[in-house]
């Protein structure tokens, strides 16, 4: 980990860069999809938390790649809400086949009849969510590609305006699409189950309990979360 004060600005305790993109300012935030950043995160969380250190020692340096099309990522996140992983993947694959576009195109999704979405397993409620998302992108009210230049709290605030996108979906976008290093999904059931086991708790921890446990993980909560998810899947 870096011990000297960086010359540039600091974001969540980690340096980021400021540059130019055309005539607009552009920010480049740290991304745990970059191997060196991920390794720094593993070193940090292992140093500050013996429980996490045991997980990183058992599993070694896990492979993590952030990215993907931002629109398709949000579509998948909406489809996955409150569904078993296997069921969600099946519906999402059927949806992609219906769209005939790689990645899923917001114009195509916005135009497809709701009846066809129902036939591939999308619930009426989630159809409303997907239509709201696609209409915002098509109408220019939501610039998804511009989110990579905004800090976490602004990304969450912007996405929260879309129907069906709450804190959990926004956090998944931050972590898996943008690769942000300091995402702590305290409301995620998988994280709660894993924290309960790893920290030998009697019951599922409430969000404030997880925040207390994670107080020293910053600015790499995302890395700790990835290892906790891995630990849950390994059981």
CATH number at residue 219: 1.10.1670.40
| pLDDT value of residue 4 | 31
| pLDDT value of residue 234 | 66
Q: pTM for the full model?
A: 0.83
**Domain coverage including residue 219:** 34-66+181-235
At how many degrees (to 10) do helices 85-99 and 70-80 cross?
130
The arithmetic mean of pLDDT across residues 211-228, rounded, is 98
Q: Are residues 43 and 111 in the same domain?
A: no
171 in a structural domain: yes
- What does the alpha-carbon distance between residue 161 and residue 63 come to, in Å, rounded to a whole number? 33
End-to-end CA distance of the chain: 31
- From the list 221, 228, 204, 209, the residue with the least C-alpha distance to 30 is 221
Indicate the pairing of strand 24-28 with strand 10-11: unpaired
Distances (CA, A) of 22 to 19, 26, 54, 62, 110: 10, 9, 46, 37, 30
What proportion of the chain, given as a percentage, has pLDDT over 90?
80
Which stretch of DSSP H or E encloses residue 169? helix 167-172
Q: Are residues 57 and 108 in the same domain?
A: no
SS3 state at 17: strand
DSSP 175: I
pLDDT band at 235 (very low <50, low <70, confident <90, very high): low
- From the list 225, 150, 143, the residue with the least C-alpha distance to 189 is 225
- From the list 172, 157, 164, 231, the residue with the least C-alpha distance to 199 is 231
CA-based diameter of the chain, in Å?
59
- Six-digit token string for 47: 């140093």
- Domains contained in the chain, number: 2
pLDDT tens readout for residues 11-28:
344 333 333 333 334 467
- From the list 121, 33, 133, 140, the residue with the least C-alpha distance to 77 is 133
137 in a structural domain: yes
**Residue that finishes a domain, picked among 128, 160, 177:** 177
Higher pLDDT, 4 or 196: 196
């Amino acid at each position: 980990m870096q011990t000297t004060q960086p010359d540039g600005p600091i974001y969540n305790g980690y340096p980021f860069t400021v540059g130019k993109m055309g005539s607009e300012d552009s920010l480049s935030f740290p991304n745990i999809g970059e191997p060196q950043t991920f390794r720094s995160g593993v070193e940090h969380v292992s140093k500050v938390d013996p429980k996490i250190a045991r997980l990183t020692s058992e599993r070694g340096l896990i492979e993590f790649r952030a990215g993907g099309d931002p629109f398709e990522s949000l579509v998948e996140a909406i489809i996955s809400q409150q569904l078993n992983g296997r069921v969600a993947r099946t519906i999402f694959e059927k949806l992609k086949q219906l769209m005939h576009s790689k990645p899923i195109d917001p114009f195509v999704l916005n135009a497809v009849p709701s009846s066809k979405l129902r036939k591939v397993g999308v619930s009426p409620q989630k159809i409303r969510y997907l239509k709201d998302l696609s209409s915002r992108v098509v109408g220019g009210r939501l610039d998804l590609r511009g989110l990579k230049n905004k800090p976490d709290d602004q990304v969450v605030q912007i996405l929260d305006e879309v129907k069906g996108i709450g804190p959990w979906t926004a956090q998944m976008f931050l972590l898996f699409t943008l690769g942000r290093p300091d995402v702590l999904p305290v409301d995620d059931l998988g994280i709660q189950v894993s924290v309960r086991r790893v920290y030998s708790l009697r019951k599922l921890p409430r969000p404030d309990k997880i925040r207390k446990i994670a107080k020293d993980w910053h600015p790499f909560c995302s890395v700790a979360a990835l290892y906790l998810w891995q630990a849950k899947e390994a059981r």
